[in-house]
């Protein structure tokens, strides 16, 4: 049970003067239950990549398999795929359209064929899981703050019981408190529901803190794929393509250059603290 991409290519505006190759021979395997971060500069292909995972975009060439089946087979049920692989867009306004929050979250389950009562139970469960106060359930989603809109957008996807949850820049535009609340919520859902989570982010600190695997995109190709510690060891190469490692990485390399035996794979503040204390014991 996994998502497999086999030599996937995607070309925008093929055979025109505006032709752009957005994905270049992407081969990846995403195992069940992983928490994955996808990073890359603007135009690196990361948003194009995730929209292939639930069939919103179709590869120019190559194959994508979900749970062993080629999603491009003629009889493949794309509607079912999109309920199993849920995508939360960067701007929640793109997903919110009903007159009340509750109706908005009910829409997905009802579109799956559930009756109103079962869809309502799914909606209540999803809204509670994202921490939305019940007194807001029947307000317009467009009256909410940015962080609350994101919670509702996430709830709308969770209500469909997906096996994979993809989030495109879920903290964009939020203040530090709101960012931490959303990311802690996502981490909690990953732990409790055992679902696969794919997080697209431009924040190296956020990715380093939460994910177990990082995929670095550059010019439509996979530049690095590994644990945070493995990927951020290549911080100089990342800088060359407009990215940076977490501040902790620079600190640890600076200490190492001074002869202090610290762990260069440390990517979070907690890991760095433990390594530095150990070095000075």
What's the pLDDT tens digit per position in 151-166? 999 999 999 999 999 9
Please state which of the ranges 87-91, 125-129, 211-215 shows the lowest mean pLDDT. 87-91
Q: With 80 as the cut, is the pLDDT of residue 72 above it?
A: yes
Q: With bands split at pLDDT 50, 70 and 90, how would you rate the model's confidence at 175?
A: confident
- pTM, 2 dp: 0.90
Q: With 70 as the cut, is the pLDDT of residue 1 above it?
A: no
- Tokens 């807001």, located at residue: 136
What's the pLDDT tens digit per position in 13-59? 988 999 999 999 999 999 999 999 999 988 899 999 999 999 999 99
- Tokens 């203040």, located at residue: 175
What's the pLDDT tens digit per position in 81-121? 998 999 998 877 778 888 899 999 999 999 888 999 999 99
Backbone angles phi, psi at 121, to 5 degrees: -65, -40
**Distance between CA atoms of residues 216 and 224, nearest Å:** 5
């Amino acid at each position: 049970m996994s998502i497999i991409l086999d030599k996937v290519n995607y070309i925008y505006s093929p055979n025109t003067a505006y032709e752009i190759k957005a994905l270049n021979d992407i081969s990846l395997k995403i195992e069940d239950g992983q928490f994955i971060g996808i990073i890359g500069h603007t135009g690196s292909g990361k948003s194009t990549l995730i929209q292939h995972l639930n069939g919103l975009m179709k590869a120019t060439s190559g194959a994508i398999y979900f749970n062993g089946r080629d999603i491009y087979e003629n009889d493949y049920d794309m509607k079912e795929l999109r309920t199993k692989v849920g995508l939360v867009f960067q701007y929640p306004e793109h997903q919110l359209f009903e007159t009340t929050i509750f109706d908005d979250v009910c829409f997905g389950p009802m579109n799956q064929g559930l009756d109103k009562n079962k869809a309502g139970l799914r909606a209540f469960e999803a809204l509670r899981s994202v921490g939305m106060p019940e007194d807001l359930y029947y307000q317009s989603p467009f009256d909410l703050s940015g962080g609350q809109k994101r919670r509702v957008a996430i709830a709308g996807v969770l209500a469909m019981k997906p096996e994979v949850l993809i989030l495109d820049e879920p903290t964009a535009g939020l203040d530090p408190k709101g960012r931490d609340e959303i990311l802690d919520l996502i981490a909690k859902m990953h732990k409790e529901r055992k679902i696969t989570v794919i997080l697209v982010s431009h924040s190296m600190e956020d990715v380093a803190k939460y994910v177990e695997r990082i995929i670095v995109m550059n010019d439509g190709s996979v530049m690095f794929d590994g644990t945070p510690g493995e990927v951020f060891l290549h911080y100089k190469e990342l800088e060359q393509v407009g990215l940076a490692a977490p501040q902790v990485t620079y600190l640890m390399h600076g200490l190492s250059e001074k002869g202090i035996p610290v762990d260069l794979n440390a990517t979070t503040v907690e890991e760095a603290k433990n390594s530095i204390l150990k070095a000075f014991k």
